[in-house]
Amino acid sequence: MRGKLFGWTLATAALLTIVTEWHVIRTLLAQLEGARTAERRAVQASIERDATIEQLLRDAREKDAQHAQLARMRTAIDSTLAAYQEAFRRLIDENQAVRHWAATALPDDVVRVHASAALTGAADYVARMRARVAVHDAGDGAAHEW
């Protein structure tokens, strides 16, 4: 009987060891699968990050090219403007009547148009609106109303 008890004890211990090891292996496999999933996510995030960086670099190169083109256009416009101004100055210097016309003051209407926000920008428009009354009082009718 002692031998049978020892055999059962040994078999129970072996079975308990097998169940414990099986549980440990299952836990390790689950952790391994979790690590693989985390790795796949990290690789995907890295690929997406690299694609975003590449897109930003392409955009930056495109903006640099546009900036260079704008600088070339501005240089061409500046040289054309300088040529027109030189031609205008030469015409003024060559003709007494043109010199006299150029020396006279501009009419008030022309000065007003040149000072308008359409030519000087929105910041000037806001400043001019603050400097005077922009609209009539609510109780007063407009000048063209009866």
pLDDT (tens place) for every residue of the chain, 146 residues total: 666 777 788 888 898 999 999 999 999 999 999 999 999 999 999 999 999 999 999 999 999 999 999 999 999 999 999 999 999 899 888 988 888 888 888 888 877 777 766 656 666 666 666 555 555 555 555 555 54
Is 36 inside any structural domain? yes
Is 72 inside any structural domain? yes
Is 45 inside any structural domain? yes
| Domain enclosing residue 45, as ranges | 2-95
Q: Does 91 share its domain with 110?
A: no
* Predicted local confidence at residue 130, as pLDDT: 58
**Residue 114 CB contacts under 8 Å (≥ 6 apart), including other chains:** 106
Summarised one tens digit per residue, pLDDT across range 24-50 is: 999 999 999 999 999 999 999 999 999
Q: Does 50 share its domain with 120?
A: no
Q: Does 60 share its domain with 116?
A: no
* Predicted local confidence at residue 129, as pLDDT: 60
Is 146 inside any structural domain? no
Q: Does 86 share its domain with 116?
A: no
| Three-class secondary structure assignment of 17-64 | HHHHHHHHHHHHHHHHHHHHHHHHHHHHHHHHHHHHHHHHHHHHHHHH
* Predicted local confidence at residue 30, as pLDDT: 96
Q: Does 58 share its domain with 88?
A: yes
Total domains, the chain: 2
Q: Does 13 share its domain with 37?
A: yes
Is 143 inside any structural domain? no
Cα(69)–Cα(23) distance, rounded to whole angstroms? 69
* Predicted local confidence at residue 140, as pLDDT: 56
Q: Does 57 share its domain with 15?
A: yes
* Predicted local confidence at residue 99, as pLDDT: 84
Q: Does 85 share its domain with 30?
A: yes
* Predicted local confidence at residue 135, as pLDDT: 55
Is 144 inside any structural domain? no
pTM of the complete model: 0.46
Q: Does 27 share its domain with 56?
A: yes
Q: Does 14 share its domain with 63?
A: yes
